[in-house]
Chain A
Amino acid sequence: MYVAVKGGEAAIENAHRLLDDRRRGDRSVPALTLDQIAGQLALAVDRVMAEGSLYDRELGALAVKQARGDLIEAIFLLRAYRTTLPRFGYSRPVDTAAMLVERRISACYKDLPGGQVLGPTFDYTHRLLDPALAEDAGTDQPVRREGETEPVMRVSEILAGEGLIEGDGAVAQEKGVGDITRTPMEFPMDRDTRLQALSRGDEGFLLALGYSTQRGYARSHPFAGEIRIGEVEVSVDIPELGFAVSLGRVQVTECQMVNQFKGSAKAPPQFTRGYGLVFGQSERKAMAMALVDRALRASELGEDMTAPAQDEEFVISHSDNVQATGFVEHLKLPHYVDFQAELDLVRRMRAEHDAARVTGAGDELEAAE
């Protein structure tokens, strides 16, 4: 006789146990430590912190380990933890001009105050697999130049000196701090919350959109005005004390794209800005974010709206990979009740179609279609 499928609970438990086993892998191989992940897979941890919106290398490393290296799963783990944390207040804006830069380059100027600092970059490496890395062959100590701890001026300030670039776009004081994790999003968005959404957005999605602008879908004539990576101080105002207290330093990557702009009815010819700021070292994401930010400013600057990257509701509604992965993957949940309804409908429509065919009316119907 037919027995309905039962025992889902045991099945779930066993599946999770198997998952645990596969995560650990061969027991004769030492388990990864969080230090190893945070230290040696640092860019994976950086991405998880950036898109998980939580700056904590240890938790980022734990998430990467628990997710078996699936970064979107790790981002999800971190987000679900973050959302339970109490909110004590908002920090002051970080001052990236005061950043202690480890990397700082500009594509606009050959040389500039503070110099071009390559830092720890994959650029100019030849992408040849290095067999020596298969073993722990030992690594040379890096060389450091003098004076690396001095703040360096931003490229945008050089252009601003000539009045050729738009201002930073100050936010009205009374507006308060926008936060898409606390207030439901509403379109059209303000640029601050839009930037927050982009900063949490999926690197791959933003990369593809940024790329599309370069290929002519809302071309924005970008120059990498400046990319800088380094540590900035985070401080928070304590009302009881009446002054700001430093909470520590975080590493961020900032990209300021400088975009040529011929002018429109709304703004004169000048250079305009696209902005990217991401936790950790994530140059690709910061650059893509800056391109997309600029594209999304089309209506503000009076440009023609022609491409997906300019469509705020489209871009922001689909940039969050935790939302996207959940909804795409929910298709594997049972849908048999709805499928039954569709099955019934298709059977009925098919029967009607076949019946019509027999009577000859089908030919007319097809011709009409």
Chain B
Amino acid sequence: MNATAGAIATYNFAYLDEQTKRMIRRAILKGIAIPGYQVPFASREMPMPYGWGTGGVQVTASILGPDDTLKVIDQGADDTTNAISIRKFFQKTAGVATTTRTGDATVIQTRHRIPETPLKSGQVLVYQVPIPEPLRFLEPRETETRKMHALEEYGLMHVKLYEDIARNGHIATTYAYPVKVEGRYVMDPSPTPKFDNPKMHMSPALQLFGAGREKRIYAIPPFTRVVSLDFEDHPFTVQDFGRPCALCGAEHVYLDEVILDDAGGRMFICSDTDHCEERREAGHAGEMLAGEAAQ
């Protein structure tokens, strides 16, 4: 096959060979047609380690074209080392345009967060998934969990969540919080904080999930019902930090706790760096910046 002009000569466009892309593309289509079902695929060894985004990278490599604009985030940030590494990989092998702006991206690959800026129709969000099986920690055997999904037997999951409530008074799962997709499959949303779960529900964007080491691809089409598991007397709730971002003043966003000194000083800032920058550019200021402006 031909390497494209500008990309390195020895590897195909976007690294993967065409046969591999076809195999992954078929799996993606099956995933979309069966929302929340984990489609097995013959995951390849990638030039980055398993557990570092090989599933997401394979999905992105299989959908990416020369007209795309790619954004890569890790922990919500564009400038974390692994996000940079993956972004550079696609710049090098696909020569694709990249951006940090959520609104400008056609494909967003993410680890552990969903952007704060609402996604639009036509955008694709690709999640890196370490353990795709939501039932894995209740039942380690694939042979068993496959049966449980087939029979729609999710009682074990409810028992586990209810044990949390009995023990702690509330559900003690804060990330990778299981969801039910379109009333059928229980699905692992990847280790995003449960704060992000509501963003998956009826999103106008297509959401694709790639687990390289575990060799699974799954999907949520746009405008699909995604419901976090809960109980009538203990409804699902998201984290609330009770304070705005110290830099941009945004409220009801996911915050990172930053340690400022060795005397216990700390502040809370947006985990989504792009969202924070855009707000600051638009003139918003949190207490940290407002304080400085006043001085």
Q: Do chains A and B touch in the complex (CB under 8 A)?
A: yes
Q: Given contacts A184-B40, A186-B40, A337-B113, is CB(A323)–CB(B258) below 8 Å?
A: no
The residues of A that contact B75 with a CB separation of less than 8 Å are: 334-337
In contact, A187 and B143 (Cβ under 8 angstroms)? yes
In contact, A334 and B80 (Cβ under 8 angstroms)? yes
Within 8 A of A (CB), among B17-44: 17, 19-20, 40-44
The residues of A that contact B81 with a CB separation of less than 8 Å are: 8, 11-12, 334
In contact, B85 and A12 (Cβ under 8 angstroms)? yes
Per-residue CB proximity of A247-258 to B under 8 Å, as 1/0? 000000000000
Q: Which of B63-71, B151-159, B167-175, B221-229 contacts A (4 or more CB under 8 A)?
A: B167-175
In contact, A76 and B49 (Cβ under 8 angstroms)? yes
In contact, B49 and A340 (Cβ under 8 angstroms)? no
The residues of B that contact A335 with a CB separation of less than 8 Å are: 75, 112, 191
In contact, A345 and B174 (Cβ under 8 angstroms)? yes
In contact, A181 and B84 (Cβ under 8 angstroms)? no
A-B contact pairs, 26 of them (CB 8 A): A1-B288, A2-B288, A5-B79, A8-B81, A12-B81, A79-B45, A87-B19, A184-B41, A326-B50, A326-B51, A327-B50, A327-B213, A329-B51, A334-B74, A334-B80, A337-B113, A337-B271, A338-B174, A340-B255, A340-B256, A340-B271, A341-B195, A341-B239, A342-B175, A345-B172, A352-B169
In contact, B215 and A2 (Cβ under 8 angstroms)? no
- Least Cβ–Cβ distance between A24 and chain B, in angstroms: 22
Roughly how many angstroms separate A344 CA and B194 CA in the complex, as a whole number? 12
In this assembly, does A322 line the interface, its C-beta being within 8 Å of a C-beta of chain B?
yes
Q: Given contacts A2-B260, A343-B257, A349-B168, is CB(A326)–CB(B193) below 8 Å?
A: no
In contact, A330 and B143 (Cβ under 8 angstroms)? no
The residues of B that contact A4 with a CB separation of less than 8 Å are: 79, 269, 273
In the complex formed, the residue of B with least CB distance to A311 is B141
Most buried by B among A9, A83, A329: A83
Q: Which of A83, A183, A333 contacts B74 (CB 8 A)?
A: A333
In the complex formed, the residue of A with least CB distance to B271 is A337
A1-B288, A4-B79, A333-B74 known; 11 new pairs, CB 8 Å cut-off, are A8-B81, A8-B84, A83-B44, A87-B19, A184-B40, A327-B130, A336-B75, A337-B75, A337-B192, A337-B193, A340-B257
Within 8 A of A (CB), among B69-94: 74-76, 79-85, 88
Roughly how many angstroms separate A343 CA and B239 CA in the complex, as a whole number? 11
The residues of A that contact B74 with a CB separation of less than 8 Å are: 333-334
Per-residue CB proximity of A297-338 to B under 8 Å, as 1/0? 000000000000000010001000011011111100111111
Interface residues on B, range: 35 or more
- Least Cβ–Cβ distance between A244 and chain B, in angstroms: 24
In the complex formed, the residue of A with least CB distance to B16 is A84
In contact, B11 and A84 (Cβ under 8 angstroms)? yes
In this assembly, does B15 line the interface, its C-beta being within 8 Å of a C-beta of chain A?
yes
Roughly how many angstroms separate A76 CA and B50 CA in the complex, as a whole number? 10
In this assembly, does B46 line the interface, its C-beta being within 8 Å of a C-beta of chain A?
yes
In contact, B42 and A184 (Cβ under 8 angstroms)? yes
In this assembly, does B52 line the interface, its C-beta being within 8 Å of a C-beta of chain A?
yes
Roughly how many angstroms separate A11 CA and B43 CA in the complex, as a whole number? 30
- Residues of chain A touching chain B, judged by Cβ–Cβ distance below 8 Å, are 1-2, 4-6, 8-9, 11-12, 76, 79-80, 82-84, 86-87, 181-188, 313, 317, 322-323, 325-330, 333-338, 340-345, 349, 352
Within 8 A of A (CB), among B250-264: 254-258, 260
In contact, A341 and B213 (Cβ under 8 angstroms)? no
In the complex formed, the residue of B with least CB distance to A327 is B51
- Residues of chain B touching chain A, judged by Cβ–Cβ distance below 8 Å, are 11-12, 15-17, 19-20, 40-47, 49-52, 54, 74-76, 79-85, 88, 111-113, 130, 141-143, 168-169, 172, 174-176, 191-195, 213, 215, 239, 241, 246-247, 254-258, 260, 267, 269, 271, 273, 288-289, 292
Roughly how many angstroms separate A340 CA and B191 CA in the complex, as a whole number? 12
The residues of A that contact B111 with a CB separation of less than 8 Å are: 333
Q: Given contacts A2-B260, A11-B81, A322-B50, is CB(A341)–CB(B193) below 8 Å?
A: yes
The residues of A that contact B192 with a CB separation of less than 8 Å are: 337
Roughly how many angstroms separate A2 CA and B142 CA in the complex, as a whole number? 47
In the complex formed, the residue of A with least CB distance to B255 is A340
For the complex, would chain A's binding face be called helix, strand, loop or mixed by DSSP majority? Answer: helix
Roughly how many angstroms separate A347 CA and B11 CA in the complex, as a whole number? 49
Q: Which of B45, B112, B191 contacts A82 (CB 8 A)?
A: B45
In the complex formed, the residue of B with least CB distance to A331 is B51
The residues of B that contact A11 with a CB separation of less than 8 Å are: 81
- Least Cβ–Cβ distance between B249 and chain A, in angstroms: 15
Q: Given contacts A2-B258, A8-B81, A330-B52, is CB(A338)–CB(B45) below 8 Å?
A: no
Roughly how many angstroms separate A183 CA and B215 CA in the complex, as a whole number? 10
In contact, B42 and A2 (Cβ under 8 angstroms)? no
Q: Which of B168, B193, B246 contacts A340 (CB 8 A)?
A: B193
Q: Which of A80, A182, A329, A340 contacts B47 (CB 8 A)?
A: A80
- Least Cβ–Cβ distance between A13 and chain B, in angstroms: 10
In the complex formed, the residue of A with least CB distance to B260 is A2
The residues of A that contact B269 with a CB separation of less than 8 Å are: 2, 4
The residues of A that contact B239 with a CB separation of less than 8 Å are: 341, 344
Roughly how many angstroms separate A12 CA and B142 CA in the complex, as a whole number? 37
The residues of B that contact A341 with a CB separation of less than 8 Å are: 174-175, 193-195, 239
- Least Cβ–Cβ distance between A46 and chain B, in angstroms: 20
Roughly how many angstroms separate A111 CA and B22 CA in the complex, as a whole number? 55
The residues of B that contact A86 with a CB separation of less than 8 Å are: 17, 19
Most buried by B among A82, A336, A343: A336
The residues of B that contact A182 with a CB separation of less than 8 Å are: 42
The residues of B that contact A6 with a CB separation of less than 8 Å are: 79
In contact, B172 and A330 (Cβ under 8 angstroms)? no
Q: Given contacts A87-B19, A322-B50, A344-B239, is CB(A338)–CB(B193) below 8 Å?
A: yes
